[in-house]
Amino acid sequence: MDYSFPEGFLWGAASSATQTEGASQEGGKAQNIWDYWYTIEPEKFFQEVGPGAASDFYHQFKADVQRMADIGMNSFRTSLSWARLIPDGRNVNPEAVQFYQSLIDELLEKGIRPIINLYHFDMPLHLQEKGGWESREVVEAYVHYAKEAFRLFGGQVKDWTTFNEPIVPVEMGYLNHYHYPCIIDMKRAVQVAFHSMLASAKAIEQYRKLGHDGKIGIILNLTPSYPRSDDEADEKAAETADLFFNRSFLDPSVLGRYPADLTALLNQHHMLPDYVEGDMETIASHTVDFLGVNYYQPRRVQAKEHPVSNPALPEHFFDPYVWPERRMNPYRGWEIYEKGLYDIALNIKDHYNNIPWYVAENGMGVSDEERFMDEDGMIHDDYRIEFLEEHLKWLHKGIGEGSNCYGFHMWTFIDNWSWLNAYKNRYGFYRVDVETQQRSLKKSGHWFKGVSKNNGF
Ligand code: BGP
């Protein structure tokens, strides 16, 4: 074996509540922004498929946990649905407690470590109506939810994360039209970003107060930013992209402070968020124990050809650059650049205190995946195996050079519903037939079993 990983390495997969559970109107769950948006604008969603049934995990979780065990997963990272656990914003829903408790019990019984995330893009509707992350009241509602989650499940669950990809609701919901509430306003986007960061720090504060013997972190999607050339203007463009899309959450989460260059830039354009006394101290004193990192693709940029005199969006500071050597995922779009994971590993080691971290998502989306199905119904996803192996090789190199990575989670365990793309792009080790909700193992699932068993390949 050429690529063996550190002892105790986590070999898992990731998913999220809204994307898998389904039962969106069962078990006392309230509507979240996705349920609502689908009711008012179904045409926005691929083939007009909403989150109603997702992958039916709510009903099939027991058999699904067995499926996880069958392919050697020793870790599963998923999220709680806030709108399910605390539908009215105050009171815990007993049916949700029973569901999540049974799921956690089932995972532990099968030797699978539950990593529980609190927020994966799914704001309860009634809180969005109060302003979502723009509102301080919503920050406090989130802290209440976090406290309840820790109280209920913190005895058993030792790994918590406060957010998944907090930049995504900012980017997609407040800088373009891909997530509800579909606002385009940089100042409001900055407020949303700041309040999510503050909410994360406040949840960490509560977690530590409880004195559980677990760890709490955050999951960030890191997109290494590469300049077109080493010209000063191109490098500056890449640094600015990095400030907005990576360091805006990475620095405060791990180092407890915002990058001075980011604050100066926002100040220069009158876009600093509102905050009250004590907020910066809260962020400074409640940094994460570990990082979860989602990596799919890098960002390539160049200096702006036609600089904008009054920039109002991050993209006004740089232009995208199409690297002539780039390789695209032909089945989904998105550049494939495996070395990005190595660059992330070394960046964390060199600039972020070599904090413990794991890959929380990495995977290959494929549209029309049925075309790779044989007559026995098995998807031959050799492209996915190759994708994962190549990323793991670079990760292995980063670990060999001292980066403190302790796990890898594939996106995702079973094909799931994905926001506006619904079931267009498939990612799972298991195929899901959306009509029948039946699962079948793909070739990559067999491959993964061997990797997990041998702790490498
Ligand atoms: C990540 C999200 C996931 C998932 C994944 C794949 O950014 O955390 O929730 O959706 O991207 O994205 P897509 O399904 O759009 O290909």
pLDDT tens column, 40-62: 999 999 999 999 999 999 999 99
Kindly report the backbone phi and psi dihedral angles of residue 359, in degrees, each rounded to the nearest multiple of 5, phi listed first. Answer: -75, 120
Angle between helices 382-400 and 339-351 (to 10 degrees): 30
Smallest CA-to-CA distance from 269 within 204, 217, 316, 332 is with 316
For the chain, helix, strand, coil in percent to 5 are: 45, 15, 40
Q: Of all atoms in ligand 1, which is nearest to the CA of residue 168?
A: 7
Find the helix or strand (DSSP H, E) in which 250 lies: helix 248-250
Instruction: Give 349-403 pLDDT, tens digit per residue.
Output: 999 999 999 999 999 999 999 999 999 999 999 999 999 999 999 999 999 999 9
Q: Which residues line ligand 1 (CB under 6 A)?
A: 16, 19, 164-165, 168, 221, 294, 361, 365, 411, 418-419, 421, 425
In this predicted structure, what is the pLDDT of residue 308?
A: 87
List all residues 6 or more positions away from 445 whose beta carbon is below 8 Å from its beta carbon.
71, 429, 430
Taking residue 383's Cβ as centre, other Cβ atoms within 10 Å add up to 17
pLDDT tier for residue 316 given thresholds of 50, 70 and 90? very high
- Bridge partners for 456 per DSSP: 4
pLDDT band at 329 (very low <50, low <70, confident <90, very high): very high
Question: Length of the chain in residues, anyone?
Answer: 457
What is the SS3 assignment for 343? Answer: helix
Nearest C-alpha to atom 13 of ligand 1 is from which residue? Answer: 418
Query: Among candidates 414, 406, 348, which has minimal Cα distance to 113?
Result: 406
DSSP state of 302: E
C-beta of residue 134 within 8 angstroms of C-beta of residue 122: no
Query: DSSP secondary-structure letter at 405?
Result: E
pLDDT confidence tier of residue 310, bands split at 50, 70 and 90: confident
- At residue 35, the pLDDT reads 98
Centroid of chain to Cα 88: 25
CA 432 – ligand 1 centroid, Å: 17
DSSP annotation of 446: H
pLDDT exceeds cutoff 90 at 324: yes
Residue 311's pLDDT band (cuts 50, 70, 90)? confident
Residue 307 is predicted with a pLDDT of: 85
pLDDT digit string, tens, across residues 233-264: 999 999 999 999 999 999 999 999 999 999 99
Taking a C-beta distance cutoff of 8 angstroms, is the pair 53, 81 a contact? no
- Which atom of ligand 1 lies nearest, measured to the CA of 219? 8
pTM, 2 dp: 0.97
Q: φ and ψ at 270, to 5 degrees?
A: 55, 45
DSSP 265-295: HHHHTT-PPP--TTHHHHHHH---SEEEEE-
Beta bridge partners of 405: 357
Q: Check residue 376 and give its pLDDT.
A: 93
The total of other beta-carbon atoms located within 10 Å of residue 6's CB is: 14
Average pLDDT, the chain: 97
How confident is the model at residue 309, as a pLDDT?
82
Asked if 168 contacts 179 with a C-beta cutoff of 8 angstroms, the reply is: yes
- Both tokens assigned to 283: 């962020």
Active-site entry in 21, 106, 148, 165: 165
- Which of 362, 443, 392, 432 is CA-nearest to residue 49? 432
How far apart CA 355 and CA 32 sit, in angstroms, is: 34
Cα(415) to centroid(ligand 1), Å: 11
Q: How far is the CA of 425 from the centre of ligand 1 (A)?
A: 9
Q: Which of 388, 408, 291, 298 is nearest to 343 (CA)?
A: 298
Buried b (16+ CB within 10 A) or exposed e, 422-439: bbbbbbbbbbbebeebeb
CA distances from 83 to 51, 104, 390 (A): 14, 19, 38
pLDDT at position 312 over 90:
no
For 109-140, b/e burial (b = at least 16 CB within 10 A) is eeebbbbbbbbbbbbbbbbbeebbbbbbebbe
CA pair distance 159, 142, nearest whole angstrom = 18
Which of these ranges, 153-167, 231-245, 302-316, has the smallest mean pLDDT?
A: 302-316
Across residues 275-280, what is the average pLDDT? 97
Query: Per the structure block, which two tokens stand in for 130?
Result: 């109060």
Spatial contact of 86 and 93, defined as CB atoms under 8 Å apart: yes
Whether 389 is catalytic is no
Looking at the DSSP bridge assignments, the partners of residue 216 are: 160
Interface predicted TM-score (ipTM): 0.96
Q: Residue 361 catalytic? A: yes
pLDDT of residue 106: 98
pLDDT reading at 1 higher than 80: no
pLDDT at 407: 98
Give the contacts of 180 (CB within 8 A, at least 6 positions apart).
33, 34, 36, 37, 128, 173
pLDDT tens sequence across 392-444: 999 999 999 999 999 999 999 999 999 999 999 999 999 999 999 999 999 99
Output the CA 418–ligand 1 centroid distance in Å: 6
The percentage of residues in the chain with a pLDDT greater than 70, rounded to a whole number, is: 100
**Residue 42 corresponds to which amino acid?**
P
81, amino acid identity: S
